[in-house]
Structure 1
Amino acid sequence: MKTRTVERKRLVPHTVDGETELVLDTEYIEVPLPPRDWDSLVRTGVTVIACALVTVSLIWTTASVGDLLSLATISAVAYAAGVAFDLTWIMCMGVEWLLRYDPARAAVPRRAGHVALAISMGAVFAHGHLFGQMSVGTAGAAVSLLAKGGFMIAMRVHARPLDPLTAQWVAKRRAAVDGQLAMIPVRRELLRGEALVEAERQARIAESGGSTDPDRSADRPDPSAPVRSNRSLTTKDAVRTVWDRGIREGDEAVREIAKLIGRPVSPDTVERYLRDLRAEAS
């Protein structure tokens, strides 16, 4: 059995001259080496080869189509446009991979990728045909076909097919999450709209000379207004009433509370309720 050496460190007590301290001790042990995962290595190799094929195809198509388009425009623009021919079906394959668990949505990028591949192959073949090199044009067009085929095979290696019931479960969960994600920009848009409406309302009130304070002074109780006595009012409620009127001092509060309830009130009781209200306010 193959093994590998593993370094492990741990704290151990060490005593010198009767004084013990924890020190770091290093030891090397041999542990069994797991068997090589050939499936993972082959999967990685297939992926690397597929990416290499796509890179070669992109370079060849760009060179061929760029040379073809340079007959009608400057070289920099022609070769920049040539990149788009293979990048289009490469992008479609990437989208198809992201939507691999949603077959209905993945069908559109799959068909678009086939169309883009056909256009790319046709452009490469047209380049060879224009210069009288039919065999070169045919072989060059086959490069893109081989690259896309290799990448599709690599995608199948990494794919994890779902049974029909699991696929429905995934679709429902994704729909619920997608609905929540979609509501994020909707809520932001609504908040922005409400803010604009409120800003417009405030601006119109300011232009008309009105007050923009929603807590209008007319709705506030007038401290100078005469106070009517109410014998059914409790002392605690009366303390709350005078507190809301802005009366915070004990003697003044006692007088106002006596007017409210129509009978004498204990200053200690009033002070106790006022302390509670001060604690709440703080």
Structure 2
Amino acid sequence: MKPQRIPRTRTVPHTVDGDTEYIEETEYIEVPAAPHDWDQIVRVAITVMAIVLLVAAVSWSTASIGSLLSRITVSAAAYGAASAFDLLWIMATAARWLLRTDPVRVQAAIRFGRVALAVAMAAILADGYVSGELVIGAVGACVSALAKGGTELAMLVHDKPLDPRTQKWLNARRARLNAQLGLLPVRRELARGAAALNAEQRRLEMLAADSGSADPDESGQSADDPNADVLAIRPGALTTKDAVRIAWDSGIRDDEQAVRYVAKATGKAPSPDTVARYMRLFRQGLAG
């Protein structure tokens, strides 16, 4: 067996005039060369031949079907539409490869590919019939079928069939993962809805606070708040709101201290809830 030389690099000390430095040194070791993997070579050769045959078949079918369609439309549109026949079959074949480990869904790709092949063969045969060369049309349809069948053979040599127990294990894992992936859009939708709801709630709270800044409790005013429908006994007397503003400007931030200050400033005991509302508006910068 022919050996194979493999380079190996190591660091060794090297001394010149008493000074030592570590340098890299390359050496080669010989190991037995691996034998040729003829199975892989044949597999690659089959794949290459299938691709060559597929290119030839696609060229033939596109030219034939394009010639048929160009009888009623411009050539560019005719050959563009003709390419759809083979592109659909290629899509089905690619889907079959991606779904090769899913025995249920792969059947849909196989059936669609067979339908696309049958339609393309019928179109090639129709072109031969219209051109008066039915035999050539039949041969061309067979070429398309054989070339695409070669692609199926190439896929078979690459397939790795699973035993029934392993297939069931894979199906269970895939189902669990697909459930999580399928819920991702729903989770995003719920998150967007929750964010929109929170934003709307904050907006309404801000609007309510702003509209009630002149009087935060219009539905039920406390006894110590001024009433617009009743004439004040002492016009110009200090109101609860004015007293809270003075307390706030004086640096008072505690509600209880503010209540005591308002009681002292106005000469009567205010409602703690009213003072607390005015203090909250001053904290939020919403008080006028």
1:15-64, Cα deviation, whole Å (9 max, x unpaired)? 11111111111223332211100001001111111122222121111111
Give the ranges of 4+ consecutive aligned residues of structure 1 lying more than 6 Å apart after TM superposition.
Answer: none
Match of 2:166 in 1: 166
* 1:136 correspondence with 2:169: no
Deviation for aligned residue 1:10:
1.6
Match of 1:186 in 2: 186
Alpha-carbon distance in structure 1 between the residues aligned to 2:101 and 2:6: 41
Larger Rg over CA atoms: 2
Alpha-carbon distance in structure 2 between the residues aligned to 1:164 and 1:53: 34
Q: Where do 1:147-158 residues align within 5 Å?
A: 147-158=147-158
Deviation for aligned residue 1:204:
4.7
Match of 1:146 in 2: 146
Aligned AA for 1:176? R
Match of 2:263 in 1: none
Aligned AA for 2:75? S
Aligned AA for 1:80? G
Deviation for aligned residue 1:170:
0.6
**SS in structure 1 at match of 2:104:** helix
1:126-171, Cα deviation, whole Å (9 max, x unpaired)? 1111111112111111122112211111111111111111111110
User: Cα RMSD (Å) of the superposition?
Assistant: 2.3
Under a length normalisation based on structure 2, what TM-score does the superposition of the two structures give?
Answer: 0.71
Match of 2:255 in 1: 222
**SS in structure 2 at match of 1:5:** strand
Alpha-carbon distance in structure 2 between the residues aligned to 1:120 and 1:209: 69
Alpha-carbon distance in structure 2 between the residues aligned to 1:48 and 1:226: 91
List gaps (5 residues or longer) in structure 2. 218-252, 261-288
Under a length normalisation based on structure 1, what TM-score does the superposition of the two structures give?
Answer: 0.72
Q: Where do 1:70-81 residues align within 5 Å?
A: 70-81=70-81
In the comparison of the two structures, how many residue pairs are matched? 221
Deviation for aligned residue 1:209:
4.3
Deviation for aligned residue 1:71:
1.2
Q: Where do 1:175-254 residues align within 5 Å?
A: 175-205=175-205, 208-210=207-209, 222-225=255-258
**SS in structure 1 at match of 2:257:** coil
Deviation for aligned residue 1:178:
0.7
* 1:126 correspondence with 2:126: yes
Match of 2:284 in 1: none
Match of 1:244 in 2: none
Aligned AA for 2:186? V
Aligned AA for 2:255? D
1:80-130, Cα deviation, whole Å (9 max, x unpaired)? 111110111111111111111111111111111111110011111111111
Match of 2:104 in 1: 104
Alpha-carbon distance in structure 1 between the residues aligned to 2:78 and 2:202: 57
1:222-280, Cα deviation, whole Å (9 max, x unpaired)? 152569xxxxxxxxxxxxxxxxxxxxxxxxxxxxxxxxxxxxxxxxxxxxxxxxxxxxx
Aligned AA for 1:147? A
Q: Where do 1:42-121 residues align within 5 Å?
A: 42-121=42-121
Match of 1:260 in 2: none
List gaps (5 residues or longer) in structure 1. 228-282
**SS in structure 2 at match of 1:224:** helix
